[in-house]
Structure 1
Amino acid sequence: MTKPFQFKTSDVSVEKRETVFQGFFRMDKLWLTHPRFDGRDMPVFTRELFIRGDATCVLPYDPERDEVVLLEQFRLGAMGRAQSPWLLELVAGMNEEGETPEEVAQREGQEEAGLTFSKLDKICEYLVSPGGSTELIHLYCGRISTESAGGLFGMEHEHEDIRAHVFSSEEAIAMVRDGRINNAAAIIALQWLQLNRTRIREGWD
């Protein structure tokens, strides 16, 4: 059996590329070809690509109280589903040029929830929707105290309207289980917490 990852970026030939939309985000159209697994070349085909920069997401966690902070806000992409378009999510923000993911985490923690992370544990990096988007998520769990957490936050000039909620870890994990939390970053982070909770509570190294 041939092992995976036999092809690289250099194996893809982009015959033509043009920007078809430029607004808050960008959309490009590409004409491309690449080798097939059976040895033939793929005929030239077109794809639209959503150009979106990397982002950083953080699950704020208090290991002493075994509580998390989740943010409730309106999300247009959830409109038209059999659910509320107000979702429970992580602290999150787009990475600006020159910023490290850890710097983004601290900036967004302050802006969106009034939180400062005393420690950040890297969970993973993942591609959000690689079939049509460039976005990569840097995912963390951040140590906080929930003693005075919660309230209303957000940058008004960015049209943010955010309510920060404090939940027990058990309640948050239960909301993943029953589908009330159904966005990828929050699901991955809370499942990671479920697996690593005991280690973190015994001593966050």
Structure 2
Amino acid sequence: MPDTFKPGPDAVEIVEREACFRGFYSLDRLHLRHRQFSGEMGPVLNREVFLRHDAVCVLPYDPQRDRVVLIEQFRVGAMHKSDNPWLLELVAGLIDKDEEPEAVAHREAMEEAGLKLGALWPITQYYPSPGGSNERVHLFVGRCDSEGVGGVFGLAEEGEDIQVHVWPFEDALDAVKDGRIDNAASIIALQWLALNRAEVRGLWQ
């Protein structure tokens, strides 16, 4: 990278910001320019940005039985791109109140899976689609007891209809390999656990 490029407060200039839509989510159109690697300011660009609350995703893991808890629900975004728009996912929710990510993980585990989590192991934070959205995901593994877990959960007032599954860890990893699990948070969490399972089990058993 050239020495002339110095990201800082003056690296991006917002010329104009338009509110295109306001609802549960929001959409803004930005007219901006940013400093280029040459050190010069680039031309004005027009970019739409999808504004979302940050999200929390947690993979409930039973270290005693080496099992994970996954949820299955309908996802409108997959409706015309997948033969089956009911996706296998992690427990997840939005930080739409004055809550810490850890509190959201515990709350959503109970709402979506009837599951009481123990310790949380932070995996990472990441932007799932930074080219067009400002959402940032907080990703965890959560310790749980999977014995007797299952059923259908979710908040009726939010139209949630969530089936809970308990899988041996290796079966879940195989579902990543063959494409049955095809959403980013689940893939990242399961692959992370594959790399760190011995350490997690050693500390949590």
TM-score, structure 2 as length reference: 0.95
* Cα distance, 1:81 vs structure 2: 1.5
* 1:6, distance to aligned residue in structure 2 (A): 3.5
1:97 Cα deviation after fit: 2.8
For 1:184, the equivalent position in structure 2 comes to: 184
Cα distance between partner residues in 2 of 1:126 and 1:99: 19
2:116 corresponds to which residue?
Answer: 116
* AA at the equivalent of 1:80: H
Query: How many Å separate the matches in 2 of 1:23 and 1:188?
Result: 30
Correspondences of 1:30-179 after superposition (within 5 Å): 30-179=30-179
- Separation in 2, partners of 1:9, 1:139: 29
CA distance in 2, matches of 1:2, 1:53: 35
Partner of 1:12: 12
Measured against aligned partners, the alpha-carbon deviations of 1:42-72 in whole angstroms (never above 9, x if no partner) come to 1111100100010100000000000000000
Kindly provide the amino acid, as one letter, of the partner of residue 89 in structure 1: E
Partner amino acid, structure 1, of 2:70: L
Instruction: Encode CA deviations 1:143-185: one digit per residue, 9 max, x unaligned.
Output: 0000011110000110100000000000000000111101000
1:199 to 1:25, Cα distance in 2 relative to 1, 3 A: same
For the pair 1:195 / 2:190, whether they are aligned, the reply is: no
Matched residue type, 1:112: E
Query: For residue 177 of structure 2, what is the amino acid of its counterpart?
Result: R
* CA apart distance, 1:40: 2.7
Seq. identity, %:
53
Which segments of 5 or more consecutive residues in structure 1 lack a partner in the other structure?
A: none
The amino acid that maps onto 1:182 is: D
Question: After the TM superposition, which of the residue ranges 164-173 and 195-204 deviates more from structure 2?
Answer: 195-204
Which runs of no fewer than 5 residues in structure 2 stay unpaired? none
* Number of residue pairs matched by the alignment: 204
SS of alignment partner, residue 203 of structure 1:
helix
Q: Please give the TM-score of this superposition, normalised by the length of structure 1.
A: 0.95
- Shift >3 Å, 4+ stretches: none
CA separation in 1, counterparts of 2:9 and 2:89? 33
Give the Cα–Cα distance (whole angstroms) in 2 for the partners of residues 2 and 116 of structure 1: 51
Moved more, 100-109 or 30-39: 30-39
Q: Residue 105 and residue 9 in structure 1: after superposition, are their counterparts in 2 closer, same or farther (change >3 A)?
A: farther
Q: CA deviation at 1:9?
A: 5.0
1:23-45 residue CA offsets vs partner (Å, 9 max, x unmatched): 22100011101111123321111
Are the counterparts in 1 of residues 121 and 141 from structure 2 also a CA contact under 8 Å?
yes
Structure 2 distance, partners of 1:199, 1:132, is: 36
